[in-house]
């Protein structure tokens, strides 16, 4: 997933350098303030670097490797995990030429920020139910979202002539499959540490997750119209709709749904997308709440 | 136990053992240039490469990069062995676009990637990592990040051998060929044990560092423009002027 030089426009590369500098700078501030053991951060980074070199066999005769962003977040906490992954990616770039110098900001954003923070908060939200499942979902979703971000970055760059409508699905779907490897490895490591040295994981437990998860959900909902706008900007349409259009097939839905095509009839599409996002999240949360109550777990 | 898993780790460990032991033994032009000047020069050439699709301009920089490699005793064969794979990968990714855009874009894109990777490889092959760290501190990168980077680099090889030891210990106790499911289960446990050891080692190293004073400093040589730096600046300026004129 390391983006090399030559794939990104300078404007996109510069934007992600800026965003990365802000988040990494804040993480370093938090690490200093909380007097985190930065030696442990460096050692864990070198351990993740080594673990990335293992090729894991997958059915079909091929293999995949581990990235470790979510694991870094779970083991060290999001800020120290972010610093550890930044170290891994900088060493890979400046010592082994893996990933470009101009794309370093974007690479740290994807694998050192998105993967780490998403992985950490997913794990914290689910850890009381099942440690393996929480680790699996953290690893899987972290890497899949990181790949989607990589798809957005290269898709928005005019240097790379495939549009975002191609790059995001390709990166997202491919990594959603490969992410299963990441998820299983992350879940297995977390399960093992939970049974042998649970105090390692407790070191990052003081962070208040509930509020952060709500904020992250709110930000994602608020951003949903931006993605609707971007999709319109690049003339994105569903691949199946393109096929239908090419074949001259027209749509005759049996039931339109309450929010047809993620819009609210009578409202402009962006407001409709925003409301659809809120309704969708509310439904999923309600189902989760009902399952939680029914299973009697917290 | 896990043929694919431990074979990949064994080859990686051997590679890194050689890498850390023998990487910087050659001397040449760029090895004598101050890392601060070299990093800035290479980044300028990199930016010139990725800001154009004109093949003649990209070729000018690629040619200059090869000249720099030659002057710095970086063998062409070694350089090709380090750049061909991702260049080929990039070429194959954009190859379908020949039907839409013709060969011009595909060649220019591939050449951009090849030139950019070549420039980074030349930087990597002529600059020890401690000089990179000194340069980062010189450019005011926060010391927490630079120190953590230093620790990361310093302990990579140790972490490789640690992981290899765990896998060899497990392999030596294996009595039968394992299924996919068993490989994954055992591998997960092995990695879990590895990270527990990593934490224990990290705590011990931190305590040992505290005993010794808990402070790392990266000293830079005083900044001066010597003959090598002046020649490199003239070379870079010449290449950029050539690039602008094309």
Name, in order, each residue with C-beta under 8 angstroms of B224's C-beta and a sequence gap of 6 or more: B34
User: Which tokens hold the place of A6?
Assistant: 């030559």
Would the CB atoms of B201 and A93 count as touching at under 8 Å? no
**Which residue's structure tokens are 């957005």?**
A152
- CB of B107 closer than 8 Å to CB of B56: no
DSSP code string of chain A: ----TTSS-HHHHHHHHHHHHHHHHHHHHHHHHTT--HHHHHHHHHHHHHHTTPEEEETTTEEEE---HHHHHHHH-HHHHHHHHHHHHHHHHHHH--S-STTHHHHIIIIIIIHHHHHHHHHHHHTTT-HHHHHHHHHHHHHHHHHHHHHHHHHH-TTS-S-HHHHHHHHHHHHHHHHHHHHHHHHHHHHHHHHH-HHHHHTTTTS-HHHHHHHHHHHHHHHHHHHHHHHHHTT---HHHHHHHHHT-----S---SSGGG--TTS-HHHHHHHHHHHHHHHHHHHHHHHHHHHT--
By C-alpha distance, the chain B residue nearest A189 is B192
Tens of pLDDT, residues A243-273: 667 667 677 776 667 777 777 777 777 677 7
Out of A89-93, A224-228, B226-230, B241-245, least confident range: A224-228
Residues of A in contact with B105 (CB under 8 A): 161
pLDDT digits (tens, 9 = 90+) for A98-152: 889 999 999 999 999 999 999 999 999 988 888 999 999 999 999 999 999 999 9
Identify from A36, A38, A54, A162 which residue to disrupt to test chain B contact, counting B C-beta atoms within 10 A and taking the largest count. A54
- Across the interface, of B100, B120, B147, the residue whose CB is closest to A97 is B120
Predicted local distance difference test score (pLDDT) of residue A37: 79
Please classify residue A71 by burial: count the beta carbons closer than 10 Å to its beta carbon, then call 0-12 exposed, 13-18 middle and 19+ buried: buried
C-beta neighbour count of A211 within 10 angstroms: 9
pLDDT at residue B77 is higher than 80: yes
Strands (E) in chain B, as ranges, are: none
Closest CA to B165 of B13, B3, B20: B13
Structure tokens at A219: 């930000």
Provide mean pLDDT across the span B160-172: 83
Residue pair A110/A117 in contact by the 8 Å Cβ criterion = no
Residues A177-202 as b/e (b if ≥16 CB within 10 A, e otherwise) read ebbbbbbbbbbbbbbbbbeebeebbe
Q: What is the DSSP letter of B31?
A: G
| Confidence bin at A199 (pLDDT 50/70/90) | confident
Residue B203: band (very low, low, confident or very high) from pLDDT cuts 50, 70, 90: confident
Q: Which tokens in the block code for residue B169?
A: 């210990």
Report the residue of chain B nearest A81, measured CA to CA: B148
Contacts of B139 (CB under 8 A, 6+ apart): B36
Question: What is the pLDDT, as a whole number, of residue A298?
Answer: 47
* CA-based torsion, B182, B184, B187, B191: positive or negative: negative
B192 and A188 in contact by Cβ < 8 A? yes
CA distance A97 to chain B (A): 6
Q: Which whole number is the average pLDDT over B22-32? A: 76
B159: helix, coil or strand?
Answer: helix
Q: How far is A28 from chain B (nearest CA, A)?
A: 7
CA–CA separation, A254 vs B235, rounded Å?
70
Stretch A2-12: mean pLDDT: 91
Structure tokens at A111: 């694998």
Q: How far is B12 from chain A (nearest CA, A)?
A: 7
d(CA B188, CA B194): 10
Q: Which of residues 99-118 of A touch B (CB under 8 A)?
A: 100-102
Q: Are B175 and A172 in contact (CB under 8 A)?
A: no
DSSP string, A219-256: HHHHHHHHHHHHHHHTT---HHHHHHHHHT-----S--
> What is the Cα–Cα distance from A51 to B167, expressed in whole angstroms?
12
A158 touches chain B (CB under 8 A): no
pLDDT at site B230: 93
Reduced to 3 states (helix: H, G, I; strand: E, B; else coil), residue B29 is coil
Nearest to B93 by CA among A61, A175, A146, A154: A154
DSSP calls for A200-229: HHHTTTTS-HHHHHHHHHHHHHHHHHHHHH
- Closest listed residue to residue A86, CA positions, set A45, A50, A140: A45
Kindly write down the DSSP assignment for every residue of B1-26, as one continuous string.
--HHHHHHHHHHHHHHHHHHHHTT--
pLDDT, position B1: 45
Q: What are the CA-CA distances from residue A94 to residues A57, A104, B76, B125, B194 (Å)?
A: 29, 10, 20, 10, 26
Q: CA A143, CA A147: separation in Å to the nearest integer?
A: 6
Higher-pLDDT residue of A237 and A160 is A160
Count of beta carbons in the 10 Å neighbourhood of residue A213: 14
Closest chain B CA to residue A98: B117
Structure-token match 């992250």, residue found: A216
The overall average pLDDT reported for chain A is 82
Over residues A22-43, the pLDDT tens digits come to: 999 999 999 988 877 778 899 9
Collect all residues of chain B within an 8 Å Cβ-Cβ radius of residue A101: 43, 46, 120
pTM over 0.90: no
């Amino acid at each position: 997933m390391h983006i090399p030089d030559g794939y990104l426009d300078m404007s996109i590369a510069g934007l992600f350098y800026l965003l990365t500098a802000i988040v990494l700078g804040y993480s370093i501030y938090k690490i200093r303030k909380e007097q985190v053991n930065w030696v442990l951060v460096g050692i864990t980074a070198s351990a993740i670097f080594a673990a990335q070199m293992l090729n894991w066999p997958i059915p079909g005769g091929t293999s995949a490797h581990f990235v470790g962003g979510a694991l870094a977040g779970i083991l060290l906490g999001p800020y120290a995990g972010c610093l550890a992954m930044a170290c891994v990616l900088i060493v890979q770039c400046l010592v082994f030429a893996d990933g470009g110098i101009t794309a370093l900001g974007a690479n740290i954003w994807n694998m050192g920020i998105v993967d780490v923070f998403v992985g950490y908060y997913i794990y914290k939200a689910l850890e009381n139910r099942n440690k393996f499942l929480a680790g699996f979902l953290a690893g899987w979703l972290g890497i899949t979202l990181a790949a989607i971000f990589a798809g957005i970055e290269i898709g928005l760059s005019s240097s790379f002539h495939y549009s975002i409508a191609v790059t995001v699905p390709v990166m997202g779907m491919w990594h959603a499959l490969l992410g299963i490897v990441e998820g299983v490895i992350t879940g297995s490591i977390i399960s093992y540490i939970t049974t042998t040295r649970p105090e390692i994981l407790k070191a990052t437990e003081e962070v208040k997750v509930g509020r952060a998860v709500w904020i992250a959900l709110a930000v994602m909902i608020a951003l949903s119209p931006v993605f609707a706008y971007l999709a319109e900007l690049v003339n994105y349409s569903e691949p199946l709709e393109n096929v239908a259009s090419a074949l001259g097939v027209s749509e005759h839905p049996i039931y339109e749904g309450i929010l047809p095509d993620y819009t609210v009839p009578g409202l402009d599409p962006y407001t409709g997308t925003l409301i659809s996002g809120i309704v969708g999240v509310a439904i999923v949360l309600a189902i989760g709440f009902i399952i939680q109550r029914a299973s009697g777990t917290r | 136990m896990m043929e694919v898993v431990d074979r990949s780790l064994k080859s990686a460990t051997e590679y890194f053992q050689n890498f850390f032991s023998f990487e910087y033994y050659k001397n040449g032009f760029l090895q004598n240039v101050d890392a601060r000047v070299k990093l800035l020069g290479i980044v300028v050439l990199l930016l010139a490469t990725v800001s154009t699709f004109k093949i003649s301009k990209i070729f000018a920089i690629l040619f200059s990069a090869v000249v720099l490699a030659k002057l710095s005793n970086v063998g062409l064969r070694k350089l090709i062995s380090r750049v061909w794979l991702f260049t080929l990968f990039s070429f194959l990714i954009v190859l379908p676009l020949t039907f839409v855009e013709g060969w011009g874009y595909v060649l220019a894109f591939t050449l951009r990637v090849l030139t950019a990777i070549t420039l980074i490889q030349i930087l990597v092959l002529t600059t020890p990592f401690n000089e990179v760290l000194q340069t980062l501190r010189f450019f005011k990168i926060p010391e927490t990040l630079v120190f953590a980077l230093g620790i990361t680099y310093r302990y990579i090889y140790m972490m490789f051998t640690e992981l290899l030891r765990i896998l060899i210990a497990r392999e030596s106790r294996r009595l039968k060929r394992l299924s996919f499911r068993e490989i994954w289960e055992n591998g997960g446990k092995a990695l879990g044990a590895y990270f527990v050891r990593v934490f224990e080692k990290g705590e011990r190293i931190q305590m040992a560092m505290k005993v010794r004073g808990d402070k790392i400093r990266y000293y830079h040589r005083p900044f001066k423009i010597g003959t090598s730096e002046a020649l490199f600046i003239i070379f870079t300026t010449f290449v950029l002027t050539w690039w602008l004129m094309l």
